[in-house]
Amino acid sequence: MSAPPKSSSRLPLHLDSELCFVLPDFLAREFEYARSLEQGIMDNLHPEFTHQYRVTLRRMRSLCVLLSEVIPCFELAILKPHLKTLMKQTNLLRDLDVFTLDTNQYLAILPEQHSSLTRIFADIDAMKNAEQVRVASWLASLAYQTHCAMVRNSLERTKQYDLLKNDIELVTFANQKIADQFRKVNNSQRKISPASKDDVIHTLRIKCKALRYLLECFSALYPPQQHKENVQQLKLLQDKLGDFNDTSTQIAFFTQLRKDKRYNKPDRQVLKSLIKEIKQAHEQSRQSTLLRLKSFDSFINDVSTLEIYR
């Protein structure tokens, strides 16, 4: 089966829209979209079902935090942990999906070890299938339904509140949020050097995601050309940060897999060689990320970049 259609990341906003109603209504529809993907995940129709499910829940949780002025604190205290729990249950399945989808790429790294790597990736595929069964059982469980009911009911209650001050215009509120997140990204990216640890770069990646969510959800309020350019420049950096995070995840996964007692000494040696190659790719990705950061630094500190958010 083909991949499911993606949901919209844009809030249906006009200059006179009431965000206190639009946001929870948008989040409620996003949640229903995520739930519409459950059967596809349970039936193992396509890895994109799991991916879009996770993307949607992550965006929901992030917007709840970023736009917390719109959501009562007691509802936020419900939404954050429940959405986190829903996402966490599919972490391993998504990682294993990616590894199995990229099997041929790994085989190409060490073509002379094709036989051994084929056996290892057959094990990974079996791990993925077992995890898919576990996730399917979770999605069908009463515990899962309870978490979902908590999220849905919280969003419905949130629609009844109007927490933003009437004297704050929507575009002013959006400007403040976007400009503030741009500053956080800028401060974070300026701390990165060739010696930076992986988790420091990962922190920047998280801040960039938050900025991307804000830019996309408020996009209806801004002139398309400059706003789209800002999103595009951010996406170019995110792509590099994503590649860097991917190789970091791969190193951690295969290092842990190498400790598995099912593998004999020759197989462990093959995994060691694979890890060595991935570490080289990781370092190349680091250099590529640093290069992109130089371009992004020039972009983000250009006076015209943030002009539309003032």
Low-confidence ranges of the chain (pLDDT < 50): none
CA distance 153 to 74: 13
| Look-up of token digits 């250099």 | 287
Contact criterion met (CB below 8 Å) for 65 and 83: no
Region of 44 please: left (phi>0), alpha (psi -120 to 50) or beta.
left
Spatial contact of 190 and 297, defined as CB atoms under 8 Å apart: yes
Predicted pLDDT at 166: 59
208-226 burial code (b ≥16 CB/10 A, e <16): bbbbbbbbbbbbbbbeeee
Q: Can you give the pLDDT at residue 235?
A: 96
Tell me, what's the pLDDT at 7?
81
- CA angle centred on 137, ends 132 and 142, rounded to 5°: 150
pTM for this structure? Answer: 0.93
* pLDDT digits 0-9 by tens, 29-53: 999 999 999 999 999 999 999 999 9
- Report all structural domains of the chain as residue ranges with CATH numbers, in order of start: 14-164 (1.40.20.10), 169-310 (1.40.20.10)
SS3 13: coil
Q: Measure the CA–CA gap between 230 and 236, rounded to whole angstroms.
A: 10
The dihedral sign for the CA sequence 271, 273, 274, 280: positive
Query: What does the pLDDT read at residue 300?
Result: 86
